[in-house]
Amino acid sequence: MLVEFKNVSKIYKEGTALESISLSVEKGEFAFVIGPSGAGKTTLLKMIYMGERPSGGEVVVGEFSSASLSRKRTALLRRQVGVVFQEFRLLKELTAFENVCLPLRAAGRREADIRKRANSVLYSVGLASKRHQFPPKLSGGEQQRVAIARAMALRPAILLADEPTGNLDPETSEQIFDLLLDINRGGTSVLVATHDLRHAEWLGKRVIKIEEGKIAEDRGPDQCIT
Amino acid sequence: MYHMNQALSGMKRAGFMSVACIIIITCSLLIFGIFLVATANLREVLKFAHGKVEIVAFLDERISQAGVDSLMTEIEAIPFIENMRYVAPETALERLKEEFGSRSHILDAMDENPLPASLEITLKPQYRLKDRVVGVAERIEKLHGVEDISYGRGWITILEKMVRVFAIVDIVVGLIVGVAAVVTVSYTVRLTVFARKEMIRLLKLVGATDLFIMAPFLIEGVIHGALSVCFSFLVLYVGYRAVAVKVSQATFMPWEMVVFFVVFGVMVAAIGSWVSVRSFLEEKSEH
Ligand SMILES: Nc1ncnc2c1ncn2[C@@H]1O[C@H](COP(=O)(O)OP(=O)(O)OP(=O)(O)O)[C@@H](O)[C@H]1O
Ligand SMILES: [Mg+2]
């Protein structure tokens, strides 16, 4: 088991974002997280990369537990967890290539390995030819590919995507979902929070539905829509 | 090496920010430096004034040469004495004539030298305090052959008050200027760090350790601080030379003050940088 939520809740001053969530994600699994706006999808993903600590319960990711996590261990955990966002979060003063190099540098890889890996991962998202462009010169879809390449640079065990197609047109979204499925076929677990019910429903993957911070439904792959 | 590169390319990218930062730090250090030089000079003035503190013992006219010799031996035996000089009546008259300058002919009217011989006594610097001087003076006054004594009692009192007031004012002004420099420098550095908060957050997200993120900023802080120290020091020194042409007694900072100034400038910039990055690193939530 790769990710496990044990009775996790997250309470902000403003209110409860997650309430007694228990779920697990296996190695190599692909799952959608859906639910209305404000349901707690983003918060759920944050719990996995430890962007926020749970107010109650425990999140376990591989060998890491939210119960005992130093700053140093948090950094190590994040090398195992790739994250992409709706708004890409690329550094616009760095080229696509340099953006992809960041996690490798942070992990202390050797310069030659960094270049090799950055090139190969950019190639695998189909952006080898545009790797020296700066993000503002790339289309939304291309920027998201760079972001995915960056998240995959360290070969994480799991890739988290928070509304990865929220800023993209349907055709580009299609390509991004294809890329995510492709990555999953390579053995990486993928967790996608999305409003895009069409994809979530028809790809025949696991769907975790969240409503008001609780799991409303957790449907396994290829189960009939009830 | 990577961190060094990172710091340099960060500064190049920050370009204008970096230059503005160095200018502002230079200015605040300059103000602090002016204060230090002023302190050094005032201290010199006070030291000079203290050097002027001396006891003059006027001798009885009827005392023989042997009497003078034994008196001098007696005085030399008193601890705290640094130096003693015998001033013959003729020498005293010469001095007086010098002081009168062009009107010295007035003194020629006298057919006899009315001035007594005297002993000029200085105490060791650390004993030139009011109570000590008064004590020694009174002791000398009682000695056989001493007619009268003079040691500028009023002057010593004023001088000591000045030294005390100066010490307090100096510390207060120093603290104000020093704290102002620390605040200005750390806020300026903070702005340059703030400009790169996206970078810091992203590095955190992709698994960079605190040290990895902070190192380039720390190096940058040291470079900013060191450059600013150099520039402000240069301006300060040129300014000092310009003043020294007119006032030859002016002094620059003594070397231990220079060391303090350099360490202060570099440390404040580096620590300011460190603290600002830390504040971003310690943000609880990723945005
Ligand atoms: N940093 C925060 N501080 C306070 N409240 C927060 C914070 N983050 C989220 N919340 C609250 O927690 C709840 C869940 O938010 P979350 O962002 O997880 O929803 P979501 O399902 O991702 O919504 P959306 O589909 O609009 O992105 C919301 O009510 C939100 O207002
Ligand atoms: Mg969200």
Q: What does the pLDDT look like over A155-197, one tens digit per residue?
A: 999 999 999 999 999 999 999 999 999 999 999 999 999 988 8
pLDDT at B193: 83
Let me know how long chain A is: 226
Which chain B residue has its CA at the smallest distance from A153's CA?
Answer: B206
CA distances from B156 to B45, B123, B132, B159, B166 (A): 14, 13, 11, 5, 15
Quick check: A164 contacting B, CB < 8 Å?
no
Is the C-beta atom of A45 inside 6 A of ligand 1? no
Listed by number, the residues of chain A in 27-46 with a beta carbon closer than 8 Å to a beta carbon of chain B are: 46
**Closest to B202 (Cβ–Cβ): which among A72, A75, A91?**
A91
Q: Which residues of B touch A79 (CB under 8 A)?
A: 206-207
Burial (0-12, 13-18, 19+ Cβ within 10 Å), B245: exposed
pLDDT band at A126 (very low <50, low <70, confident <90, very high): very high
Q: Where do the H-state alpha helices sit in B114-194?
A: 130-141, 153-194
User: What would the two tokens of residue B173 be?
Assistant: 């002004």
Which residues neighbour B75 within 8 Å (Cβ) at sequence distance 6 or greater? B57, B81, B84, B119, B121, B140, B143
The answer to whether residue A226 scores a pLDDT higher than 50 is no
Helix axis angle, A71-78 to B210-246, nearest 10°: 120
Which residues neighbour A181 within 8 Å (Cβ) at sequence distance 6 or greater? A30, A190, A203
pLDDT at A163: 95
pLDDT at B202: 94
The 10s digit of each residue's pLDDT in A21-61 is 999 999 999 999 999 999 999 999 999 999 999 999 999 99
Q: Would you call A106 and B209 a contact, using CB atoms and an 8 Å cutoff?
A: yes
pLDDT beneath 50: ranges in chain B: 287
CB B89 within 8 A of CB B115: yes
Average pLDDT, integer, range A65-71: 93
Nearest to A147 by CA among A104, A193, A105, A90: A90
Q: Which residues, listed in sequence order, are joined to residue A12 by a DSSP beta bridge?
A: A15
Nearest to B202 by CA among A49, A191, A217, A188: A49
Residue B284: phi and psi, rounded to 5, are -70, -45
The 10s digit of each residue's pLDDT in A78-121 is 999 999 999 999 999 899 999 999 999 999 999 999 999 999 99
Let me know how long chain B is: 287
Q: What is the ipTM of this complex?
A: 0.91
Q: Domains in chain B and their CATH numbers?
A: 2-48+157-286 (no CATH), 54-151 (3.30.70.3040)
Work out the end-to-end distance of chain A between its first and last CA atoms, rounded to an integer number of angstroms: 27
d(CA A168, CA B229): 51
pLDDT at A147: 98
Q: What is the pTM of this model?
A: 0.77
Quick check: A77 contacting B, CB < 8 Å?
yes
pLDDT at B103: 76
Question: What does pLDDT average to over chain A?
Answer: 94
From B194's Cα to the closest Cα of chain A, the distance in A is 15
Average pLDDT, integer, range A134-155: 97
pLDDT at A224: 53
pLDDT at A110: 94
Strand pairing of A206-211 and A214-219?
antiparallel
pLDDT at B14: 66
pLDDT at B75: 84
CB B213 within 8 A of CB B200: yes
Q: Which residues of A touch B210 (CB under 8 A)?
A: 71-72, 75
pLDDT at A103: 97
pLDDT at B66: 86
